[in-house]
Chains A and B, each alone.
Chain A
Amino acid sequence: MSHLVIDNVSKSFGELPVLRGCSLSVEKGSVLTLLGPSGCGKTTLLRTIAGFITPDAGRIVVQGNDISDMPPNRREVGYVFQNYALFPHLTIAANVAYGLKVRRTSRAEVARRVEDALRLVDLSTFADRYPAQLSGGQQQRVAIARSLVLEPSVLLLDEPFNALDARLRLTMQIELRKLIQRVGITSIFVTHDQMEAMTLSDTVAVMHKGVVEQFGSPLDIYDRPRTAYVANFIGRANVIPGEVANGHFDDPARIATQAPAGPAVLVVRPENVTVEPATAGDAAPGWPGTVTFTTALGPTVEYEIDCGWPEPLRAIAPRSPGRPQAGPGDRVVARIADPAAAVVLRRQDGAHVH
């Protein structure tokens, strides 16, 4: 059985459903990310695991024990707050010692474990300072040390990199990932940043309007998105409306699919689209269009191509010096490079489709 199981958890705030039957599981020592836009319920789910929110229905099981009705101070679940919530009236060492002291740990052991925890996050020399004297990145490490010192069974982190500037964010993501690997603790992150989710996690749960839309490894979700929403949220995607008939989607070329007959969308990643100049007599199927915008990024070029759809078709092609590339106004034909990597999805009523 998985280390942590979230079983069909639902929660409403008044009339507003925030979580609708969420189910997830995390293996021991692995990292799960709850990914979604603000208001999707990801933080509510995290707070439910910590016990700050009582779910209306469903169970939360850690190591086989149902903790759904346990008060937050008995849960042994570490929580790192978005703004760290360090106690401003306590020194760094006293912040880290807080949980040990309320457990009436002996003074000698508190001192030893606080020292170990501060060494783990490389903040030993800051023990006697106050939180206000530390930078954002240092405060975050204190918050993590304060949780880890109690050896919780799960570590929950609510948008831990939000308060950091972009450069520090990347460093801290990698540092944190290494730290989690070293300690081997089961962790759940909440983020709205898909790059962060890809960097940090073994598994990702994409959430949308209180529902877990897809749950799997980052690359699995990237390669095989189950909904147009997921396709757009993880990486960029061209979502092209069409029809499925007789087990295939026919725009621009025949693509076999398991999807049922009816309205459908084709999801194609920009790097799976090739762009060639339109030439007379070219009969191979493709999407003719006009380049409207190009961005050269060194190794690649990004094209926006007007194919007569509401949204431009995006393509990313490798760039090589000396080879001429299409520019704005050029007539081109876009084609799918690898039809097997394109995904056909049933079109949901009301779903947002480009």
Chain B
Amino acid sequence: MSTEALRPPPSRPLSPRRGAWMRPLVGGGLWPAVPAVAYLLVFMVLPIGTLLLFGFVTIERGRIVGDSFTLEPMLRALSDPLVWRLMWRSFWVAAASTVLCLLLAYPVAFAYGSLRGVWRTLLLVAIVSPLLTSALVRTYAWLVILGGRRGILNQSLIWLGVIDEPLRILNTDWAVLIGMTQIHLPFMILPLLAVLSERDRRLEEASLNLGASRTATFFKVIVPMSIPAIFAGLALVFAVSYTNFIIPQLLGGGNYSTLAVQVYEQTIVVLDWTRGAVLATLLLSTCFLFVLAIVSLGSRLSRWNEVRR
């Protein structure tokens, strides 16, 4: 057999029509992502785009009136103090529950790193299991726990003698905060878990060896090393908290509203699609800005992570 036979067949030269922009696609690089991208385009970007468009056109009898592009509904919403109040509440409730999530999640993720064997598995199951039930069901569960005089929480506290009169938690900001924090906690724990359990323990030994106490080591080595995971969790939890309308609706009560709740009410109950679309535009764009702010702060604080030789 000649050596010619062993050679691979000459590859077909790229046709000149395939421009430079195609390069990452040629040879498999980005091809595997095509189905997912196509799916998102057709079933997410397109419908959301259509929906948002409703805020900038005139709708009569369920039909878009041609050539009726208008900024008027948007300007009206922006000059409405109620909209700003709703947005502020959406923001601070989401921000507060996100911070609460971080404070609760970090010790859990940290403890997971020091557990071994069956205990580790049990903790992981405990962390993930809430995700197996629907968020709606869990919200109703909080309704039962926090609800009025007969709620589990008040009954237990009265029985224990901690309080005489039932606490009014349901239908307040507290109920929304408690529910949101519990329901979104796994989204904060999981990214932290991955980083904290795989961390390099020798760095902690090195810190101790250099004279730092365990507390100093935690704040000067362990926390800074987990900043990418912290900010991934913050962005994730903030986004889902800021846009959630079920939890504020159910636990905040009938008079409690946020921007996301209003989007739902205007679109589904009031059937004012224009206003619903305008508020949805505001909700999505502000959410995007906040998440962008979180992510860019995170990468500023972990610039070392991008350094490569």
List A residues at the B interface (Cβ < 8 Å): 50-52, 71-79, 81, 83, 85-90, 98-99, 102-103, 129-130, 132-134, 146-147, 150
Q: Are A77 and B309 in contact (CB under 8 A)?
A: no
Stretch at the interface among B110-118, B174-182, B207-215, B230-238: B207-215
B227 smallest CB distance to A (angstroms)? 8
Stretch at the interface among B31-39, B198-206, B252-260: B198-206
- CB of B244 closer than 8 Å to a CB of A: no
- Determine the distance from Cα of A99 to Cα of B308 in the docked complex, in whole angstroms: 25
Return chain A residues, CB-CB under 8 Å to B49. none
Q: Are A103 and B211 in contact (CB under 8 A)?
A: yes
Q: Are A85 and B202 in contact (CB under 8 A)?
A: yes
Q: Are B304 and A130 in contact (CB under 8 A)?
A: yes
Return chain A residues, CB-CB under 8 Å to B224. 89
Q: Are A90 and B211 in contact (CB under 8 A)?
A: no
- CB of B82 closer than 8 Å to a CB of A: no
Return chain A residues, CB-CB under 8 Å to B302. 89
Q: Are A73 and B209 in contact (CB under 8 A)?
A: yes
Return chain B residues, CB-CB under 8 Å to A103. 211
Given contacts A88-B225, A133-B307, contact A72 B213 (CB under 8 A): no
Q: Are B211 and A89 in contact (CB under 8 A)?
A: no
- The one of A85, A99, A132, A147 in contact with B205, judged by C-beta atoms closer than 8 angstroms, is A85
Residue of B nearest to A156 (CB): B209
Residue of B nearest to A73 (CB): B208
Q: Are B202 and A81 in contact (CB under 8 A)?
A: yes
Given contacts A85-B203, A87-B203, A98-B207, contact A73 B212 (CB under 8 A): yes
Q: Are A85 and B200 in contact (CB under 8 A)?
A: yes
A159 smallest CB distance to B (angstroms)? 13
What are the 10 tightest A-B residue pairs by CB atom distance, in nearest-first order? A99-B210, A85-B206, A85-B202, A102-B212, A130-B307, A79-B209, A72-B208, A89-B304, A73-B208, A89-B224
Given contacts A99-B210, A132-B307, A132-B308, contact A79 B205 (CB under 8 A): yes
Can you add 8 more A-B contacts, CB < 8 Å, to A73-B214, A83-B202? A72-B209, A79-B206, A88-B304, A89-B305, A99-B210, A132-B304, A134-B309, A150-B211
- Determine the distance from Cα of A72 to Cα of B206 in the docked complex, in whole angstroms: 10
Return chain A residues, CB-CB under 8 Å to B225. 88-89
22 contacts between A and B (CB under 8 A): A50-B205, A52-B208, A52-B209, A71-B208, A73-B209, A79-B205, A79-B209, A83-B202, A85-B200, A85-B205, A86-B206, A88-B225, A98-B207, A98-B220, A102-B212, A102-B213, A103-B211, A129-B307, A130-B304, A132-B308, A133-B307, A133-B309
Q: Are B307 and A87 in contact (CB under 8 A)?
A: no
A109 smallest CB distance to B (angstroms)? 15
Q: Are A99 and B307 in contact (CB under 8 A)?
A: no
Given contacts A83-B202, A89-B302, contact A77 B209 (CB under 8 A): yes
Return chain B residues, CB-CB under 8 Å to A71. 208
Return chain B residues, CB-CB under 8 Å to A83. 202
Residue of B nearest to A135 (CB): B309
A127 smallest CB distance to B (angstroms)? 14
- CB of B297 closer than 8 Å to a CB of A: no
Return chain A residues, CB-CB under 8 Å to B25. none
Return chain B residues, CB-CB under 8 Å to A76. 211
- Determine the distance from Cα of A190 to Cα of B43 in the docked complex, in whole angstroms: 61
Q: Are B211 and A73 in contact (CB under 8 A)?
A: yes
Residue of A nearest to B304 (CB): A89
Return chain A residues, CB-CB under 8 Å to B206. 79, 81, 85-87
Q: Are B209 and A90 in contact (CB under 8 A)?
A: no
A269 smallest CB distance to B (angstroms)? 39
- Determine the distance from Cα of A88 to Cα of B203 in the docked complex, in whole angstroms: 9
- Determine the distance from Cα of A133 to Cα of B303 in the docked complex, in whole angstroms: 13
Residue of A nearest to B214 (CB): A73
Given contacts A72-B205, A79-B205, contact A98 B307 (CB under 8 A): no
Return chain A residues, CB-CB under 8 Å to B213. 73, 102
Return chain A residues, CB-CB under 8 Å to B202. 81, 83, 85
- CB of B141 closer than 8 Å to a CB of A: no
Q: Are A52 and B205 in contact (CB under 8 A)?
A: yes
Residue of B nearest to A102 (CB): B212
- Determine the distance from Cα of A6 to Cα of B134 in the docked complex, in whole angstroms: 61
B257 smallest CB distance to A (angstroms)? 43
Return chain A residues, CB-CB under 8 Å to B211. 73-74, 76, 99, 102-103, 150
Return chain B residues, CB-CB under 8 Å to A50. 205, 209
Chain B, 103-135, CB within 8 A of any chain A CB: none
A161 smallest CB distance to B (angstroms)? 17
- CB of B45 closer than 8 Å to a CB of A: no
B213 smallest CB distance to A (angstroms)? 6
- Determine the distance from Cα of A150 to Cα of B211 in the docked complex, in whole angstroms: 9
Residue of A nearest to B213 (CB): A73
- CB of B216 closer than 8 Å to a CB of A: yes
- Determine the distance from Cα of A98 to Cα of B221 in the docked complex, in whole angstroms: 10
Residue of B211, B212, B214, B302 ringed by the most chain A CB atoms within 10 A: B211
- The one of A51, A90, A102, A132 in contact with B309, judged by C-beta atoms closer than 8 angstroms, is A132
- Determine the distance from Cα of A128 to Cα of B308 in the docked complex, in whole angstroms: 14
A154 smallest CB distance to B (angstroms)? 11
Return chain B residues, CB-CB under 8 Å to A73. 208-214
B307 smallest CB distance to A (angstroms)? 4
A267 smallest CB distance to B (angstroms)? 39
B242 smallest CB distance to A (angstroms)? 29
B48 smallest CB distance to A (angstroms)? 38
B201 smallest CB distance to A (angstroms)? 9
- Determine the distance from Cα of A134 to Cα of B309 in the docked complex, in whole angstroms: 7
Q: Are A81 and B205 in contact (CB under 8 A)?
A: yes
